[in-house]
Chain A
């Protein structure tokens, strides 16, 4: 049985439809990320699952039980809020125990769970402090602990790391993942940060305009985006308009693009004669090759440490090439080639 099962979920606010006909499942112990730009409906979806909103139509099952109409206080979900939402007048220990007290658990059980979770999140010495005496990272952990201590069926994260600085964010996301694995919790994680999504998830659901655009393992989504939205949103791929002008052998297609004639290799044929294609900046091979050699004038360069982004324009749109050491020697123009298998077919141009 799946921990969460969402079917044909739609949520309308007056004229605005925030979630349109969304269906997906989350298995026990699975970490699923809802990823998308702001306003894509991901937080609304989370609020529907936690019970703060009731859907216009569709069903949500948690551990096989339909929870439509069940208020949040009776759902076995626990939420980690973006703002942490710790009770400022309660000590860390009281914050952690709050939910257990609402459940009226016996004192001994409460104590056992509290000390268990306190050691898990490493806040044993902070139990008597008030939230405002803690650092941002510690507050974040209290919020996580407060959700964990409930032993929920599903743990929900609403952009929990957005208030932390970049360095801390990386260590906390490892921690969250480790704890989620250890408790074998089903987790639904909302973020707009593709790095977070790629690093943490078992599966990513990419959302746009209330719909799931694509779902799958992080590496699959990165390697095989199905639309220019996904290709751009994850990893900022270079996207071009292309016209199929011929097929070579079984898997190779010749394409006419603004960047010149290109050959693409794909297991699946292009969806239309006129379509969008993409290629990843880091897949550019320095120097000329047998196929797909491009020479372009460098418009900007941006040094990133272990690599350098070089930008050039194709028909007014910026394209990006990522090179290592060799980028340093280039001044005015660049010659590179793209392997046919690194060119990916996307959706048709309407």
Chain B
């Protein structure tokens, strides 16, 4: 088979995967969110018979969507920043210091990821209640999310700290840089992509996290996922769920594109050999 032929096949398979994984679910979600309650969308019809923004306005006006959005969009960035801050010292130690048992420590830091989220959530909430954090639900969920997503942050930031070049630190020192100046000139440029990736991943994980937000928060404290599951679970109103899932997805994409731009402009030289 020729090279171009193979390329063509690969291109079309990529296109096919994109359609199945992205285009179909997205268009289904959009279509379902537009279904008007006047007439149901039955399987024999390709498109919903009556389309309107009724579900959107309904949810906006009559559900706890507004508070859920406020909670989610306050929680996710806070969790991202807090997790990053908590991960930094450990990541620094794992990435830059030498000590016996370092590889084991790296592995241990990842271990919490193998436990299913719901199991962690149930036992974790028990601890939260013991700590008395249940009185302040936002704080409890924030704390829980930070702990839960810490392994990701530690892993990413460890690799980032390993990327910091010792000769850059040495050169800065040799030229008389204070610890602060050294941090800015040698560490920050190398850490930047890792910081962005950590913020993005924790943001997305936190905004989509259901188990803890539900167990700790329900019924008083709603986030978008708990609202989504309420709509799916009790009444199974598919159009409403479609609206909520779109609300859940769109900011993630915007945030991701934004970070992509920031990272691209951040430092084109760092990953390229000398300099």
Given contacts A90-B185, A98-B185, A132-B269, contact A84 B274 (CB under 8 A): yes
Chain A residue nearest to B270 (CB atoms) is A88
Q: Given the complex of chains A and B, what is the CA–CA distance between A87 and B188 in angstroms? A: 11
Task: Determine whether A150 belongs to the interface, using a CB cutoff of 8 Å to chain B.
Answer: yes
**A99 CA / B269 CA spacing, docked (Å):** 21
Beyond the given A102-B178, A132-B268, could you list 20 further A-B residue pairs with CB under 8 A, ordered by the A residue number? A50-B174, A73-B176, A73-B177, A81-B170, A83-B274, A86-B171, A86-B275, A87-B171, A87-B185, A87-B189, A88-B267, A88-B270, A89-B267, A99-B175, A102-B181, A130-B269, A131-B269, A132-B269, A139-B275, A150-B175
Contact-residue bracket for chain B = 20 to 34
Q: How far is the CA of A329 from the CA of B242 in the complex (A)?
A: 92
Q: Are B176 and A136 in contact (CB under 8 A)?
A: no
Chain A positions 61 through 84: 1 when the CB is less than 8 Å from some CB of chain B, otherwise 0: 000000000011110011101011
- A85 in contact (CB, < 8 A): yes
Whether A132 contacts B274 in the complex (CB less than 8 A), given A85-B170, A89-B267, comes out as yes
With both chains docked as a complex, state the minimum distance between the C-beta of A6 and any C-beta of chain B, in angstroms: 18
A139 to B167, CA, bound (A): 15
CB contact under 8 A between A85 and B171, given known A130-B269, A139-B274, A139-B275: yes
Q: Which residue of B lies closest to A76 (CB)?
A: B176
Residue-wise interface mask of B (171-202) relative to A, using a CB-CB cutoff of 8 A (1 in contact, 0 not): 11111111001000110010000000000000
Q: B272 at the A/B interface (Cβ < 8 Å)?
A: yes
Nearest residue (CB) in A for B182 is A73
Residues of chain B within 8 A (CB-CB) of A150 are: 175-176
- For B172, the chain A residues whose CB sits under 8 A away are 87, 98
B168 is an interface residue with CB less than 8 A from chain A: yes
Find the A residue at minimum CB distance from B267: A89
- Residue A38 CB within 8 A of the other chain: no
Q: Which residues of A contact B (CB under 8 A)?
A: 50, 52, 71-74, 77-79, 81, 83-90, 98-99, 102-103, 130-132, 136, 139, 146, 150, 163
A73, B178: Cβ atoms closer than 8 Å: yes
B171's closest neighbor in chain A, by CB?
Answer: A85
Within 8 A of A (CB), among B131-162: none
Q: Whole-angstrom distance from the CB of B80 to the nearest CB of chain A?
A: 24
B165 part of interface (Cβ distance < 8 Å):
yes
Determine how close the nearest CB of chain B comes to the CB of A242; give it in whole angstroms.
Answer: 47
Given the contacts A81-B170, A139-B274, A163-B274, A89 and B269 also touching, CB distance less than 8 Å: yes
Chain B residues with CB under 8 Å of A88's CB are 189, 267, 269-270, 272, 275
Q: Complex formed: what's the CA distance from A228 to B186 in Å?
A: 45
B101 contacts the other chain (CB 8 A): no
Contacts A73-B173, A85-B168, A85-B171; A132 near B273 (Cβ below 8 A) = yes
Q: Is the CB of B273 within 8 A of A72?
A: no
Q: Which residues of B contact A103 (CB under 8 A)?
A: 176
12 sampled A-B residue pairs with Cβ under 8 A: A72-B173, A72-B174, A83-B274, A86-B274, A87-B171, A87-B172, A88-B189, A102-B178, A132-B268, A132-B273, A150-B176, A163-B274
Partner of B175, one of A84, A102, A139, A163: A102
CB within 8 Å of A: which B243-275 residues: 267-270, 272-275
How far is the CB of B186 from the nearest CB of chain A, in Å? 7
Interface pair B173/A71, CB less than 8 Å apart? yes
Chain B residues within 8 Å of A85, by CB: 165, 167-168, 170-171
Q: Which residues of A contact B175 (CB under 8 A)?
A: 73, 78, 98-99, 102, 146, 150
Closest B residue to A149 using CB positions = B175
Most buried by B among A50, A85, A163: A85
Chain A residue nearest to B179 (CB atoms) is A73
Give the CA-CA distance A63 to B176 in the complex, in Å: 18
Partner of A74, one of B176, B186, B270: B176
Q: Which B residue's beta carbon lies closest to that of A52? A: B170
Q: How far is the CA of A47 from the CA of B173 in the complex (A)?
A: 12
B275 engages A102 (CB within 8 Å): no
Residues of B within 8 A of A102 (CB): 175-178, 181
Interchain CB contact under 8 A, A132 and B170? no
Query: For residue A163, which residues in chain B have a CB less than 8 angstroms away from its CB?
Result: 274
- Bound complex: CA of A90 vs CA of B165, how far in Å? 15
**A81–B269 CA distance with the chains assembled, in angstroms:** 19
Known: A71-B173, A73-B173, A102-B178. A89 touches B270 (CB 8 A): yes
Q: Once bound together, how far apart are the Cα atoms of A87 and B172, in whole Å?
A: 9
Give chain A residues whose Cβ lies under 8 Å from the Cβ of B274: 83-84, 86, 131-132, 136, 139, 163
Assess the B272–A132 pair: CB atoms within 8 A.
Answer: yes
- Residues of chain B with a CB closer than 8 A to A50's CB: 174
Q: Which of B171, B173, B273 has the most CB of A within 10 A?
A: B171
- A81 lies within 8 A of B275 (CB): no
**When A132-B274, A136-B274 are in contact, do A81 and B177 touch as well, CB less than 8 Å?**
no
Q: Is the CB of A87 within 8 A of B176?
A: no
Q: How far is the CA of A72 from the CA of B176 in the complex (A)?
A: 7
Determine if B174 and A131 form an interchain contact, defined as CB atoms under 8 angstroms apart: no
Tell me the minimal C-beta distance from B94 to chain A in angstroms. 23
Chain B residues contacting A52 (CB-CB under 8 Å) are 170, 173
Q: For the complex, what is the distance from the CA of A102 to the CA of B175, rounded to whole Å?
A: 7
Residues on the A chain within 8 Å of B267, using CB: 88-89
Q: Report which residue of B175, B189, B270 has the largest number of chain A beta carbons within 10 angstroms of its beta carbon.
A: B175
Which residues does chain B contribute within 8 Å of A72, judged by CB atoms? 170, 173-174
Whole-angstrom distance between the alpha carbons of A86 and B175 in the complex?
12
